[in-house]
């Protein structure tokens, strides 16, 4: 499926493979841990109490939460700039703050070179998506170039 034109903002860039794997896997983990919490033996020599069941449910919920956070990473391109949503942090950037977009073959996700001299990992474009990731990186690089162009463009 081709990516949308860069003039169609807002535009959201998301990984494909991670979402296709993690959403069904999160459902499976929720069912498995929920079932285990309900089906643990409550009587006899190997009895499990309410705290044990709650512990199993909490561990399962924690695993599902992490999976959903990883699956929800994205880059939202708007008229004023970018919103980079990674697993634990979200950062808003003005277009002028982004100097370059890099998707190195050895890197797991896209890197944004910023005006303050740092690089920001943007997990919304993941190298494991192959051609789709390269297309997203090129689209974002084109957006950055168009949105940061000046009269002098030096």
pLDDT tens digits for range 8-45: 788 999 999 999 999 999 999 999 999 999 888 877 66
Sign of CA dihedral 102, 85, 108, 116: positive
Please give the full DSSP string across 113-154, using - where no structure is assigned.
EETTS-EEEEEEEEGGGTHHHHHHHHHHHHHHHHHH--SS--
Tokens of 19: 């979402």
pTM for this one? 0.81
pLDDT tens digits for range 43-86: 766 678 888 999 999 999 999 999 999 999 999 999 899 999 99
pLDDT tens digits for range 80-103: 999 999 999 999 999 999 999 999
Class (C level, CATH) for 73-148: mainly beta
What does the domain layout of the chain look like in residue ranges?
17-71, 73-148
Per the CB < 8 A criterion, the answer to whether 137 and 121 are in contact is no
């Amino acid at each position: 499926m081709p990516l949308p034109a860069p003039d169609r903002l807002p535009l959201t860039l998301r990984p494909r493979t991670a979402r296709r794997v993690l959403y069904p896997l999160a459902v499976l983990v929720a069912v498995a841990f929920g079932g285990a919490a309900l089906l643990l033996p409550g009587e006899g020599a190997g009895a499990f109490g309410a705290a044990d069941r709650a512990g199993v449910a909490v561990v399962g919920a924690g695993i599902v939460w992490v999976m959903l956070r990883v699956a929800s990473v994205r880059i939202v391109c708007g008229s004023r700039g970018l919103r980079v949503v990674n697993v634990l942090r979200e950062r808003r950037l003005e277009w002028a703050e982004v100097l370059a977009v890099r998707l190195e073959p050895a890197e797991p996700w896209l890197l944004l070179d910023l005006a303050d001299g740092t690089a920001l990992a943007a997990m919304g474009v993941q190298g494991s998506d192959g051609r789709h990731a390269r297309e997203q990186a090129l689209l974002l690089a084109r957006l950055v170039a168009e949105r940061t162009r000046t009269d002098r463009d030096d």
